[in-house]
Amino acid sequence: PSQYFPTGSRITLNLAPPPFRAMIPPLLLALVLPSSESRVISVFYASRHGTRAPNPIVEDICPGLKPTLDRFKDIGIAPAGVTGNGLREMYSVGVYARERYIKEAGLLSKYFDPREIKFVAAEEDRTLQSAATMGQAMYAGPRGFEGYREPIPVAVNGTAGRDDLGEVRKATCAPQLLQDTSKWDKKYGKELMEKHKDIIDDLSHMCKANLRLSLQYTDGMENMGDAIKDVTDAMMFAVRENFPLQFNKTMYADARRLALAQLYGRLYFTKEQQNYMVGLFPEVMLNELQAGVDHLEGRHLMYGYHGHRELLYALATFFQVSFEFPGLGFQKHGIPSGTTLFFELHKLNETEAIQENVQEGAGDYVRLVVFSPCANVTLTIKGNADILCKAKAYRFGFNPHSDYISFAKFRSYIEDRLNFIGSYRDLCPLGPKIASKPQHPHSRKIVKVEDVDLAGWDLVSAGVFITLGAVLAGILLCILAPWSRCCFRRLL
C-alpha cells in the first residue's frame, strides 16, 4: 500500500471560514481525506458491519469466557447483534462519506435521493443495521434538542433469497466450498493446527474446555478452526468494546493470527477459490462504473454493499491487495469491523495524470480508498460519532506504481482473470445448496391447500356439496329473516 496519500493529495479539510475555525473540534480539523482535485464521477463500495456481540455458540465451546459474554448481555445486545460502539463505527463511515462525496467532491446531493445512491445489505440484522446507520450519518437532518439528529427514511435493500453478490459462499458456491475446505483441512489445516498446538492449549485452558473436542458437543461447527475463530472473535469484540480483559494480550494476538491463517487457507487457498469467493461483485461493479464512464442517465452515483469480512478478504486476494491496520489483533491482512472499501471512479486531466504518475494521460481512472474506524476514537465519543480516523489509498498488486489505474486496465484485469480462471458460475458446477429456513417455535403454521387430506373426495363431489350448502343457507336465511313471507312468495 501507499503512504497516507502521496505528496499533493494530503489535505486538511476547511470546514468553515477562518473566523469560525476555532469553534470546530481539533480532531475534526485534523481530518485527512483524499484530494478532490480530480473529479469523482462514481463510487462502488463494500463494507463490513460494525462491532457485534459474539456468536451464541461461544457459550458452549468456551464457558471460561462467560464473564465477557455476560457483559454483552448486560448492555442489552442480542446474540451477534451490533453493539453501540459498532453503530458509532458505522456512523463514522457515513460521516466520512458525507464529507468526502457530498461536501468535498460534490458527487451526491445534500439530501437523500434513492435515484443517486443504492444501499444493499446481506439480509441479516447486523448488516442491515450497519447500512442504515451509515445512511443516517450521510443524510440525517440538522442537530436539534440536545444535539439529537432528526432521522430520515434511508432505503436499504436486503438481498432476499440467494445472495451471489456478497455471500456466494452460502449460496451458489456452498457445495464447492465445502469440498475445497475439506481438502485443505485434511492436509494443510491439520499441519497448521499441529504446528500451533501450544496456542490451542492456551485457548483451551482459558475456555475451561478442550477446543479439540468442540465438534463432538456442538452443532454447526465444521472444524476446530471455526471454534478458534469464534472464540477469538469474542475476544476481539471485547477489545473493541474496551471491556476489562480476562485474557493475556499476547495469547490473544497469537490466537488471532492463527485464526486468520486458518480462515485465509480454507477460503482463499487456490486461485479458483479467490475467483468464486467474490461472486457477482466484480461484474456488478464494472457495470456500475462503466455507466459512470458512459455518463448514462439514471445511473447510480454511489452503490454500496454491506456484508461480512469474507467478501472483503476475497476482494483483497482477487485484486492483490495487502491490508495493514494498526492495533491489537489486526496484523497483516486482518480487517477491523466497519472497514469499508471505496472503489472510486475519477476523471483526470493531463496535469493530474502527470502528478499521479500515470502513463495513459487524461481519462477515467479507478482508485481504491479504504476507511476503517479507530476503536480508540469511537470509545471516546460523547453522544455522536463526528470524529474520524484517516482514510488510506491502497495500490492494486497488478498496478504498483500509482494509486490510480486506468479504467480500461482495471476492466481488462477483471475480465481476463474471470475468463482465464473462471467466474463463480464456471467454478461452482454443483449449484446452490438450498435449505429451508427453520421455523420460529412460536410462529403459526400456514396450511396449504395441497396439504389438506380430502379423504378421497374428488372435485365433483366437493362442488356438489358446496352448491347444496349454499342453497340450504339461503332457505334458512329466508325463514329467520323478518321478510320471510316475501321470500316464500317468491320461492313459490
According to the model, what pLDDT value does residue 324 have?
A: 77
According to the model, what pLDDT value does residue 14 have?
A: 30
CA-wise closest residue to 336 among 73, 89, 1:
89
According to the model, what pLDDT value does residue 115 have?
A: 93
Spatial CB neighbours of 71, under 8 Å, sequence gap ≥ 6: 238, 241, 243
Domain extents in the chain: 40-376+387-427
According to the model, what pLDDT value does residue 76 have?
A: 82
Which residue has cell 389438506?
452
| Beta carbons of 279 and 168 less than 8 angstroms apart | yes
CATH code for the part of the protein at 40-376+387-427: 3.40.50.1240
CA-wise closest residue to 417 among 267, 291, 268, 278:
278
Rounded Cα–Cα distance for residues 169 and 432 (Å) = 9
According to the model, what pLDDT value does residue 25 have?
A: 38
Strands 302-307 and 117-121: what pairing?
parallel
CA-wise closest residue to 140 among 131, 130, 153:
153
Which residue has cell 436539534?
144
Rounded Cα–Cα distance for residues 37 and 346 (Å) = 10
According to the model, what pLDDT value does residue 357 have?
A: 82
Rounded Cα–Cα distance for residues 287 and 269 (Å) = 28
Q: Which residues face 342 on adjacent strands?
A: 45, 369
Compute the CA torsion angle 178, 179, 181, 186 (nearest 10 deg).
Answer: 130
Q: Which residues face 45 on adjacent strands?
A: 304, 342
CA-wise closest residue to 72 among 92, 86, 93:
86
Q: Tens-digit pLDDT profile for the chain (492 aa)? A: 332 223 333 222 332 333 333 333 333 333 444 444 458 999 999 999 999 999 988 998 999 999 999 998 888 887 888 998 899 889 889 989 999 999 999 999 998 999 999 999 999 999 999 999 999 999 976 665 555 667 788 889 998 778 999 999 999 999 999 999 999 999 999 999 999 999 999 999 999 998 888 766 555 556 777 888 899 999 988 888 888 888 888 888 899 889 989 999 999 999 999 999 999 999 999 999 999 999 999 999 999 999 999 999 999 999 999 887 765 545 556 788 899 999 999 999 998 888 888 888 899 999 999 998 875 554 444 444 444 567 889 999 999 999 999 999 999 999 999 999 999 999 999 876 544 333 333 332 322 323 333 333 344 444 555 666 665 666 665 555 554 444 444 433
